[in-house]
Amino acid sequence: MAAEPLIFSIEQGTARPTMKLAKIPAPDFDLAMTLGSGQVFHWENVDGGFVGAIGDRPVYVEQRGDSLLTSCEDEKLIRNYFALDHPLAEICASFPVDPAMGAAKEFCRGLRIVRQPKWECLATFICSSMKQVAHIRQISRSLRERFGERRKITLERSIENTDGGSAAPRAMVIDSASPTFVGIEQGTARSTQTYTTFRFPSADRIADSSEKELRKCALGYRAKNLRASAGLIASGDVDLEKLAALIDLDLRARLCELPGVGAKVANCVMLFAYERLRAFPIDVWIERVLREKYFPRTRRLNAARLQAFTEGYFGDHGGYAQQYLFHHARKTARRSRTIGSTQSKRRRLSQSRV
């Protein structure tokens, strides 16, 4: 039976005493769904948990039932980042009652809106224009690896022998296929795994980079916009923290003044970095859902009308409703395509036998 992992080194190779992972209550929360829902893009699924960075802190986190086990000793940081204080039951109860929203709510149980660092969120969504989630993840990783700072986390797991007996001491075995070291001593196997993550590069670091360097991260035309916005923030011309004092309308307008930021990106940043839970980003997926589920017979439907509808219909927690609709649509569409492809192949095979 596998024991809880221990962490004994973290941050730039600095050795630390072995310690148990901190246990944090996390009811009404689905860690994997939240991190895979297209709002944050750098967390890596490793050995039953996730490795990533919260600001400049490298973090390992895994879910065990209604609790999180994490390498981070700062419980407040974890609770804040994963929005464990959001009254999720009340939020979901506020959603409008209709078939599309009902299906999304049922599918997305435990999904929470993460509180992201402002610059990291802004930069990531500037890079997201006309990109699929998988591509955004690749861009985020490339930016971090090329321009961010490396952080390491080492976990040690103890595994008891299944027969309850004692194994003879053995030399440490190095698995060349992965950075895993396994040793067995007095009936207990110890598995040690070191993971590397990167903090997101600062605005100063991006501003000091050339557009050519940024394009190596598959940014294309977005490189120019990212560098320009980074320059405004690095110079102090734009203070992302001070923008938090603005009302939604003014915040959206100020964000849209930044290079590479339109209504969709601004609403994403408002929702995921400024916790403006009414913000309702409309991308290709959401526009498709709105047209098919809420306006099936309406041909002339522009962006302004869609935005006005979402603000009135979904209300104070429209951002949560949007994220549930988005994640449900993306995941079920993939499943539908797979089923449809299989059925199509069967039809072709059946026809070929006639």
Could you tell me the CATH number of the domain that includes residue 50? Answer: 3.30.310.40
Mean residue pLDDT of the chain comes to 85
Please report the sign of the dihedral spanned by the C-alpha atoms of residue 197, residue 328, residue 303, residue 279.
negative
35-44, 92-101, 237-246, 331-340: least confident range: 331-340
86 and 68 within one domain: yes
Which range scores top for mean pLDDT: 170-184, 276-290, 297-311? Answer: 276-290
Co-location of 40 and 108 in the same domain:
no
Question: Does pLDDT of 265 surpass 60?
Answer: yes
What pLDDT was estimated at residue 183? 38
Report if residue 152 sits inside a domain. Answer: no
| 261 phi/psi in degrees, rounded to 5 | -115, 115
Residues 81 and 97 in one domain: no
Token pair of 47 as six digits:
């050995």
Co-location of 23 and 99 in the same domain? no
Q: Do residues 101 and 75 share a domain? A: no
Of the two residues 348 and 66, the one the predictor is more confident about is 66
The tens digit of pLDDT for each residue in 310-323 reads 999 999 999 999 99
Q: Residue 1: what pLDDT?
A: 45
The angle formed by the CA atoms of residues 287, 293 and 297, to the nearest 5 degrees, is: 95
The verdict on residue 288 lying in a domain is yes
Is 295 within the bounds of a domain?
Answer: yes
Q: Which residue has the higher pLDDT, 85 or 350?
A: 85
Instruction: Give yes or no for residue 12 having a pLDDT over 80.
Output: no
Convert 292-311 to b/e letters by CB count within 10 Å (16 or more is b): ebbeeeeeeeeeeebbeebe
Q: Is residue 347 scored above 90 in pLDDT?
A: no
Average the pLDDT over 5-26 and give the result.
63
10 SS3 class? strand
**Has residue 184 been placed in a domain?**
no
Domain boundary among 91, 106, 137: 91
pLDDT beyond 80 at 189: no
Residues 110 and 38 in one domain: no
Residue 132 lies in a domain: no
pLDDT of residue 342: 45
pLDDT digits (tens, 9 = 90+) for 86-143: 999 999 999 999 999 999 999 999 999 999 999 999 999 999 988 889 999 999 999 9
CB 147 within 8 A of CB 112: no
Instruction: Reply yes or no on whether the pLDDT at 178 is more than 60.
Output: no
CATH number at residue 96: 1.10.1670
The verdict on 100 and 67 lying in the same domain is no
For the purposes of burial, counting CB atoms within 10 Å of the CB of 47, is it exposed (0-12), middle (13-18) or buried (19 or more)? middle
79 and 10 in a single domain? The answer is: yes
For residue 106, the model assigns a pLDDT of: 98
The proportion of the chain whose per-residue pLDDT surpasses 70, expressed as a percent, equals 79
Span 288-292, mean pLDDT?
96
Residue 85 inside a domain? The answer is yes
Domains of the chain: total: 2
Is beta strand 150-160 parallel, antiparallel or unpaired with respect to 6-10?
antiparallel
**pLDDT exceeds 90 at position 165:** no
The confidence score (pLDDT) of residue 36 equals 96
Is there a domain that residue 48 lies in?
yes
- In the predicted model, is pLDDT for residue 187 greater than 70? no
Together in a domain, 303 and 337:
yes
Residues 107 and 62 in one domain: no
Q: Are residues 74 and 20 in the same domain?
A: yes
Instruction: Establish if 259 belongs to a structural domain.
Output: no
Domain shared by 26 and 75, yes or no:
yes
Q: Determine the pLDDT at residue 193.
A: 82
**Full residue range of the structural domain in which residue 10 is found:** 6-91
- pLDDT of the residue at 48: 85
Residue 76 banded pLDDT, cuts 50, 70, 90: very high
